[in-house]
Structure 1
Amino acid sequence: MALSTHTTSTGYLLPSIHSAPPFFTQQPNPTTLAIATEHWVKLITGYARHRKLFFLRVEDAESPGNDWAEVLRNERINRRLPPTYLSYILEILVNKNLAAYEPPAQTRAVMLFWRLPEEWAEVLHEWATSTGQLNSILTFYDITDPPLESPLTGIPIPLLRRAIGILTKSNRAQIISIPDGEGVRFFPGNKYVG
């Protein structure tokens, strides 16, 4: 069978390596493993961005029909990514700062950074500026579930906190205690460099 690209039902173009049976096996040769794993890292982060997926769990490799099935499986060649290999890939994603274990203190689930926290901070500040939210106090819910869909719709609270923390360091945001928990106030300012 010749290697070929494939467009998934969600419109994502899988690279030709996805049709190679050895791609779904954790290779014993360190060089081959490093190359294949780098392809998996790119595939996972690209697909997550395409689908706006924030979480990946080792269990996603075991159960068909989940949000990740069309990437972690290839029914055309009867292959699926083994959970042990996915666990290894999650560790690599965390080591490359492209993910963080979420919840912390476990190694079976990650929150993916298909945009780095610094990039989310810029998206967040641009959103606050363009929607006239500067100097207003917003709840995290106001940001993650706005009346009109935005690039921040559905962003996980731990990732939102990281982005706000970055803006706080550059004096472009401030965490505020409010009766229902925490809120944030955004201030005008320059892009964070550091």
Structure 2
Amino acid sequence: MGDYEFPRFYSFPPFFTLQPNEETRANQVSAWRNFILGYCAAHNVSQLEIQSALDSPLCHNAAIDRKLSEDALRLFIDDLVATRNAEWLTSDHTTALIMPATPDEVAAAIYDWIDTTGQIGDVLTVYELHSGDTTVGTSFHGLDAVLINRALDVLASQGKAKVFSASSPEDAGVKFFPA
């Protein structure tokens, strides 16, 4: 697992079983929310497929022979959806987009960067935003193209950008306007 350090509670067997006590479960859900976001960020996972995740170290601690149930994982992802840190990408809820930052937060970061670097009025592609050399070191560099597009939709709804569709999400263009 490289340099990723699992939280201490990852080795605590009850962490993998939905807790019946309401207060304990609320704490468990919060812990899983932070764990999923941290794990996915550390492993550059932006799209989480339920069945694959259940067999991965995210949901299966082989050292203590504990595995999260599918129902529990769905509950934790539903919590991430409620906090706007995830979005179900499929109607059958088998794949989720995991978002370490909400689309609103990413939109603000992109617009601040565009404004600071003097690119108001310029047209950029989604690819340039998430993988371009000029965005290295920004909070949005390396984010999934789907999340970048969600953020650009936020900016478009605020009148700060116009998105030009393309054949793929990465090829879409965006023009930025003064606030």
- Post-superposition Cα deviations, 1:78-129, rounded to whole Å, max 9, x if no partner, equal 22222221122112211222211113x2312211221111110122123334
The within-5 A match list for 1:9-158 is: 9-64=1-56, 69=57, 71-103=58-90, 105-147=91-133, 150=136, 151=138, 152-158=140-146
Rounded to whole Å, the distance in 2 between the matches of 1:46 and 1:61 is 14
Give the alignment's Cα RMSD to 1 decimal.
Answer: 2.6
- 1:61·1:80 contact (CA, 8 Å) conserved in 2? no
Q: Figure out how many residues of one structure are paired with residues of the other and give that number.
A: 175
TM-score, normalising length from structure 1?
0.75
Q: Which has the larger radius of gyration?
A: 1
State the TM-score, normalizing by the size of structure 2: 0.80
Relative contact order: is structure 1 or structure 2 higher (C-alpha 8 Å, sep ≥ 6)?
2
Q: Is 1:166 equivalent to 2:154 in the alignment? A: yes
Q: Could you say if the C-alpha distance between residues 96 and 153 of structure 1 is closer, same or farther in structure 2, counting changes exceeding 3 Å?
A: closer
Measured in 2, the distance between the counterparts of 1:178 and 1:13 equals 39
- Give unmatched runs, 5+ long, in structure 1: 1-8, 190-194
Structure 2: distance between partners of 1:89 and 1:131: 38
Identical residues among aligned pairs (%): 28
Greater helix fraction, Structure 1 or Structure 2: 2
